[in-house]
């Protein structure tokens, strides 16, 4: 293969798979009952869940610039809902252009002809339509702030979850997250990678000091000029055949490689692949050897979500428990989110509820306030005999939560497993 | 607007919502001088010095999704015929001071200090619940705050009786404004004053310094300075954060803090060294993102020492009053020119864990 450097305009089109219906009759499945509702929930930071009755909701990603155009066709007066979603200040939606068209009739009530025209033009050069999960669609429509980056990483990890598990030699009959949302792996990988690359491309337009301020953790670094040039090449050549391999070098963590680029000697491309590997898979080194930290006894599992954690983490943890033969010893699973991580934790819970024969799982809303996390820890410690605490949340939360668990249950009944790539 | 509607409503002064990513950045997303909650809705009231500017400011509230009737203004001056919004939304409504229920605001002055201290303690979760008041859909609020106790109920909101009065108060307001409960229950007058959140006033202060964002370094220095006035300070960093540590040390020395010691340790020795230094009544303060394995080791080691009188603290964003409590409210009630803009700031504050 040779790299395409032409300036022929092309785009990839992301579309949410419409036939997904959550299993069960619980209130969570009832509230987040279709992909559009799930997307609204994620994009308004868990504030809204109204679905747009849309037959077509496409995100076009320009493969030259990474620019995004969201095209929503809607029924009747749903444009009011779209405008309302756009006006929620907490929302994460930040596309370069939002085009709305009415399904019956020529234009929306406030539509501008040139914008509709623009939307039609963008659709003409669409290289491929990819059906993706609501998480990936949300990541691609999300802003380029830190939270937007984390959703992009989370979606990419979700799409690679089977390959990550295989690289870790984990096997089991638990369906990966994209599968329960009824999408194909190849389309999900390509879609989530396009979302990630588009986000990195957009950072190229932002003042580097602003990016550094946003990415203040030691795990995430801002992209340099060379990386940005490589990402541009990668984005231009994106297609459905871009399925990556993951090799897990014990002690060093996961390594991402793309067969189609293996014969190309291009330093910018190599640097961009290194960067993508580091930001999207670097954190997952924490799963290396994690299985040995679980003991074979009955327990409750409390998973404290960090900002980048999502359904892929839940999937890997389930496989680890299965591999150790202790999944059936897990009595209850608590998914702990904070105000910042609660939408991702809820989405992960929705995924868990789609899988049969799992322990009872519940969402816990805690916070960085020690006074509140203490109340939450007391509640959780009152319901289980032995607790395994997967520690990945914010510093103050991990400290006060674990401290309270120890005080309430004693060292013999609490085991904390830090989910940290640091050794 | 009918005066009767205002009289039956719930009023709350000084209401600010922050973006939930407050760990690193702290942009405000809504500043409301007075919030007025009705059964099934809310109204934001701004104090205006110049009502002619109202249409422009009103648009800000409208475009921030705060409602179709953007905002009400209390002003003694009339708006004037030339002021029109011109953007297809209703003109802001100016309400007269004569009809406004100031007695409710007067009552607030009694609770303000206790309320503010409680809000500081529960700042992050309170901010989230305030966000739900303004932006949450009734369906989402119903899902999050249900007391049904089934597996879909969200912990700990499924058992509100176990929660603190401030949290119960917020839940009650959310349910009222979203039409999920008929009227709010007043828990505000039940709030009792507890310990202040600051700690580490005495004894040795051991600060773990990780990599810190450049814009936060000065705030970290300021926080340590405020805590370490009479204590011996030990700054512990790793090789990755030693530059940050040197800068903090230099700034603290400039500020005249004498008893200062700095050391760079291996990451695997960080927790042991911190506990060793803090033994005998010290405080370990975490000044940023520390690897989770270090945190767990730290808690384990302190627990093994059976409390060992070591305190743990972390720097967290908390609202800090700019003025004397309730001063602005007094001015507003008395009809003097004033705004709530000077009431609070957010800053990094040491919080005992």
Q: What residues of chain B lie within 8 A of the CB of A368, using their CB?
A: 23, 124, 316
pLDDT at B10 (0 to 100): 86
The count of C-alpha atoms lying within 13 angstroms of the C-alpha of A399, restricted to the half-sphere facing its C-beta, is 28
Q: Which of B122, B139, B156 sits opposite A379 (nearest CB)?
A: B156
Sign of CA dihedral A276, A278, A279, A284: positive
Find the closest chain A residue to B266 by CA distance.
A423
**pLDDT for residue B84:** 53
The pLDDT assigned to A73 comes to 77
| For residue A124, pLDDT beyond 90 | no
Instruction: Work out the average pLDDT over A335-349.
Output: 96
Which residues in chain B are closer than 8 Å to A335, comparing Cβ atoms? none
Q: Give the pair of three-digit tokens for residue A13.
A: 């089109």
More confident residue, A104 or A341: A341
Closest chain A C-alpha to B103 CA, distance in angstroms: 32
Provide the 10 A C-beta neighbour count for residue B311. Answer: 19
How confident is the model over A190-211, as pLDDT tens digits?
A: 999 999 999 999 887 777 666 6
Give the percent of chain A with pLDDT over 70.
85
Query: What confidence tens digit (pLDDT) does each residue in B41-72 have?
Result: 777 777 766 666 666 666 666 666 666 555 56
Residues of chain A in contact with residue B136, where contact means CB-CB under 8 angstroms, are: 47-48
Q: Is residue A422 very low, low, confident or very high in pLDDT (cuts 50, 70, 90)?
A: low
Q: Is the dihedral of CA B116, B121, B124, B130 positive or negative?
A: negative
Residue showing tokens 């909101």 = B157
Of A48, A217, A400, the CB nearest to B140: A48
User: Residue B92 has what pLDDT?
Assistant: 64
Residues of chain B with pLDDT under 70: 1-5, 22-26, 48-95, 192-202, 228-230, 258, 306-308, 337-338, 342
Count of all residues that appear for chain B in the document: 353
Tokens of A6: 């032409």
Of A45, A338, A362, the CB nearest to B151: A362
How many whole angstroms separate alpha carbon B143 and alpha carbon A28?
A: 7
For residues B199 and B153, give the distance between their C-alpha atoms in angstroms, rounded to a whole number.
35
Report the pLDDT value the prediction gives residue A253, as an integer from 0 to 100: 83
Distance CA A167, CA B68 (A): 53
Which of helix, strand or coil describes residue A415?
strand
d(CA B29, CA B38): 22
b/e B88-118 (16+ beta carbons within 10 angstroms → b): ebeebbbbeeeebebebbeebeebbebbbbb
Each residue's pLDDT tens digit, A395-421: 999 999 999 999 999 999 999 999 876
Contact B154 A364 (CB under 8 A): yes
**Cβ contact A362–B303 (<8 Å):** no
Show residues of chain A in contact with B292, CB under 8 Å: 391-392, 398, 418-420, 422
Chain pair A-B, CB pairs under 8 angstroms: 200
Q: Write down the pLDDT at residue A103.
A: 63
Structure tokens at B47: 């104090």
Is B29 within 8 Å of A89 when comparing Cβ atoms? Answer: yes
Interface test with B, best of A395, A413, A423 (most B CBs within 10 A): A395
Residue A160 confidence class, pLDDT cut points 50, 70, 90: very high
**Position A110 pLDDT exceeds 90:** no
CB A136 within 8 A of CB A16: no
Q: Which of A352, A33, A30 is nearest to A177 (CA)?
A: A352
- What would the pLDDT profile of A21-56 be if each residue is shown by its tens digit? 887 778 999 999 989 899 999 999 999 988 777 667
Residue A143: its pLDDT value, please? Answer: 86
ipTM score for this prediction: 0.91
d(CA A142, CA B20): 16
Contacts of A258 (CB under 8 A, 6+ apart): A242, A243, A244, A245, A273
**pLDDT at residue A217 in the model:** 57
Query: What confidence score (pLDDT) does residue B166 get?
Result: 92
- The Cα B95–Cα B1 span in angstroms is 7
3-state secondary structure (DSSP) of residue B147 = coil
The confidence score (pLDDT) of residue B6 equals 72
């Amino acid at each position: 293969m040779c790299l395409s450097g032409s300036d022929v305009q092309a785009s990839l089109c992301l579309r949410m798979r419409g036939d997904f219906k959550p299993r069960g009759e619980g209130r969570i499945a009832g509230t987040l009952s279709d992909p559009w509702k799930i997307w609204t929930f994620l994009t308004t930071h868990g504030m809204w869940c109204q679905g747009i009755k849309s037959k077509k909701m496409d995100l076009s990603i320009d493969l030259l610039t990474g620019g995004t155009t969201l095209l929503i066709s809607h029924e009747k007066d749903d444009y009011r809902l779209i405008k309302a979603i756009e006006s929620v200040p907490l929302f994460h939606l930040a596309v370069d252009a939002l085009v709305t068209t009415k399904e019956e009739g020529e234009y929306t009530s406030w539509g501008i002809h040139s914008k509709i025209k623009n939307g039609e033009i963008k659709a003409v050069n669409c290289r491929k339509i990819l059906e993706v999960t609501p998480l990936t669609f949300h990541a691609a429509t999300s802003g380029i702030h830190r939270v937007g980056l984390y959703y992009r990483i989370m979606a990419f990890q979700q799409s690679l979850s089977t390959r990550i598990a295989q690289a870790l030699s984990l096997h089991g009959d638990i369906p990966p997250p994209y599968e329960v949302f009824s999408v194909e792996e190849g389309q999900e990988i390509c879609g989530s990678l396009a979302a990630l690359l588009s986000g990195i491309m957009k950072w190229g337009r932002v003042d580097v000091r602003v990016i550094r301020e946003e990415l203040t953790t030691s795990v995430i670094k801002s992209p340099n000029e060379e990386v940005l040039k490589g990402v541009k090449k990668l984005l231009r050549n994106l297609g459905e055949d871009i399925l990556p391999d993951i090799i897990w070098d014990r002690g060093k963590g996961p390594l991402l490689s793309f067969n189609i680029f293996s014969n190309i000697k291009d330093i910018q491309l190599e640097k961009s692949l290194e960067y993508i590997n580091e930001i999207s898979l670097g954190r997952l080194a924490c799963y290396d050897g994690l299985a040995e930290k679980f003991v074979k006894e009955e327990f409750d599992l409390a998973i404290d979500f960090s900002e980048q954690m999502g359904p892929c983490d839940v999937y890997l943890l389930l496989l680890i428990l299965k591999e150790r033969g202790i999944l059936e010893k897990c009595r209850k699973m608590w998914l702990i989110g904070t105000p910042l991580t609660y939408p991702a934790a809820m989405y992960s819970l929705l995924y868990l509820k789609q899988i049969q024969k799992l322990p009872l799982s519940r969402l816990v809303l805690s916070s960085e306030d020690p006074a509140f996390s203490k109340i939450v820890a007391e509640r959780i410690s009152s319901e289980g005999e032995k607790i395994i605490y997967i520690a990945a949340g914010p510093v103050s939360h991990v400290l006060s939560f674990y401290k309270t668990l120890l005080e309430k249950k004693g060292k013999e009944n609490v085991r904390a497993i830090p989910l940290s790539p640091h050794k | 607007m009918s005066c009767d509607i205002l009289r039956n409503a719930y009023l709350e002064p000084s209401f600010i919502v922050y973006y939930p990513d407050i760990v690193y950045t702290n942009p405000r997303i809504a500043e409301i001088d007075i919030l007025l909650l009705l059964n099934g809705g809310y109204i934001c009231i701004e104090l205006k010095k110049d009502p002619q500017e109202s249409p422009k400011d009103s648009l800000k509230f409208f475009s921030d999704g705060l409602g179709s009737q953007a905002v009400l203004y209390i002003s003694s001056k009339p708006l004037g015929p030339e002021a029109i919004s011109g953007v297809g939304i209703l003109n802001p409504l100016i309400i007269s001071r004569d009809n406004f229920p100031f007695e409710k605001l007067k009552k607030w002055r009694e609770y303000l200090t206790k309320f503010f201290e409680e809000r500081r303690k529960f700042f992050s979760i309170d901010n989230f619940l305030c966000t739900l008041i303004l932006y949450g859909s009734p369906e989402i609020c119903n899902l999050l705050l249900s007391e049904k106790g089934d597996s879909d109920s969200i912990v700990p909101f499924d058992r509100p009786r176990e929660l603190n009065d401030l949290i119960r108060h917020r839940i009650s307001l959310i349910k009222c404004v979203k039409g999920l409960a008929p009227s709010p229950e007043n828990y505000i007058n039940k709030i009792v004053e507890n310990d202040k959140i600051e700690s580490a006033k005495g004894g040795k202060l051991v600060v773990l310094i990780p990599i810190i964002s450049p814009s936060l370094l000065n705030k970290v220095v300021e926080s340590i300075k405020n805590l370490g006035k009479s204590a011996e300070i030990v700054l512990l960093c790793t090789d990755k954060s030693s530059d940050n540590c040197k800068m903090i040390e230099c700034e603290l020395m400039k500020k005249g803090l004498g008893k200062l010691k700095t050391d760079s340790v291996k990451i695997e020795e960080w927790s042991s060294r911190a506990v060793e230094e803090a033994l005998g009544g010290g405080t370990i303060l975490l000044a940023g993102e520390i690897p989770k394995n270090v945190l767990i080791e730290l808690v384990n080691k302190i627990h093994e020492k059976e409390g060992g009188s070591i305190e743990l603290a972390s720097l967290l964003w908390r609202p800090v009053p700019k003025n004397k409590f309730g001063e602005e409210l007094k001015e507003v009630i008395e009809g003097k020119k004033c705004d709530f803009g000077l009431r609070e700031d957010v800053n990094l504050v040491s919080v005992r864990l």
